[in-house]
């Protein structure tokens, strides 16, 4: 299956995705994570941040996720993936797909941004920054909605795992 994390930069996608990887591995699952930043450095090197390039990057991540999923691997994508239409396109090519939206306000993201990217984007130093000078289209009906502004990482992870169990993708943990 594919678990697709989406949300603004710094919302917590990779943090929660990495925690989920450990939960799934502890439950005997094969898991691979495709992080947007890592994919951009390797699989999508040379792409810029135009809408077309962003869409190409997301399609590449979706393609690899589909290859992994159809071979029995839990494929986890952690990428901003700002455009709803491309996320929906990826969903349509996967038989088992769970969209996880990690919501967080621009104000909170700016406050917790150690690299200062939001401040630079807000001042105009960084162009085409998703959520500031470029659009981010929130999912309309994600299977899982996490709020990194109001939930702890542990609460978000527990909520996500419970939902995956509820949907039948993950068996409940065996307790001794």
Rounded to two decimals, what is the model's pTM?
Answer: 0.93
- Do the Cβ atoms of 164 and 30 come closer than 8 Å? no
> Hey, what are 112's tokens?
């917790």
Please report the DSSP string for 131-155 in residue order: TTTB-----SS-SEEEETTTS-HHH
Query: Per-residue pLDDT for 157 more than 70?
Result: yes
For the chain, domains (ranges, CATH) are 2-166 (3.40.50.300)
The set of catalytic residues is: 81
Average pLDDT, the chain: 93
- Do the Cβ atoms of 14 and 78 come closer than 8 Å? yes
CA angle 33–22–171, rounded 5-degree value: 100
Q: How far apart are CA 160 and CA 19, in angstroms?
A: 11
pLDDT tens digits along 129-146: 999 999 999 999 999 999
Report which of 75, 25, 27, 83 is spatially closest to residue 54, judged by C-alpha positions.
83
Residue 46 confidence (pLDDT): 75
- Do the Cβ atoms of 79 and 39 come closer than 8 Å? yes
Q: 42 by DSSP, 3-state: which?
A: helix
- Left if phi > 0, otherwise alpha if psi is -120 to 50, otherwise beta: which for 168? left
Backbone angles phi, psi at 100, to 5 degrees: -115, 115
32: Cα separation from own chain's centroid: 13
Q: How far apart are CA 39 and CA 12, in angstroms?
A: 17
pLDDT tens digits along 22-73: 999 999 999 999 998 788 777 777 787 788 988 999 999 999 999 999 999 9
Confidence of residue 176 (pLDDT cuts 50, 70, 90): low
């Amino acid at each position: 299956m594919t678990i697709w994390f989406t949300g603004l930069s710094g919302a917590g996608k990779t943090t929660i995705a990495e925690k989920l990887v450990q939960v799934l591995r502890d439950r005997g699952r094969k898991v691979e994570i495709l992080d947007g930043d890592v994919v951009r450095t390797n699989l999508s090197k040379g792409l810029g941040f135009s809408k077309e390039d962003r869409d190409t990057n997301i399609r590449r991540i979706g393609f690899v996720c589909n290859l992994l999923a159809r071979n029995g691997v839990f494929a986890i994508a952690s990428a901003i993936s700002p455009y709803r239409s491309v996320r929906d396109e990826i969903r349509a090519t996967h038989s088992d797909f769970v969209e996880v939206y990690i919501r967080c306000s621009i104000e909170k993201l700016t406050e917790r941004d150690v690299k200062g990217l939001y401040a630079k984007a807000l001042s105009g130093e960084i162009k085409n920054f998703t959520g500031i000078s470029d659009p981010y289209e929130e999912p309309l009906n994600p299977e899982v909605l996490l709020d990194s502004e109001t939930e702890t990482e542990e609460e978000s992870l527990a909520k996500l795992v419970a939902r995956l169990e509820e949907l039948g993708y993950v068996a409940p943990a065996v307790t001794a």
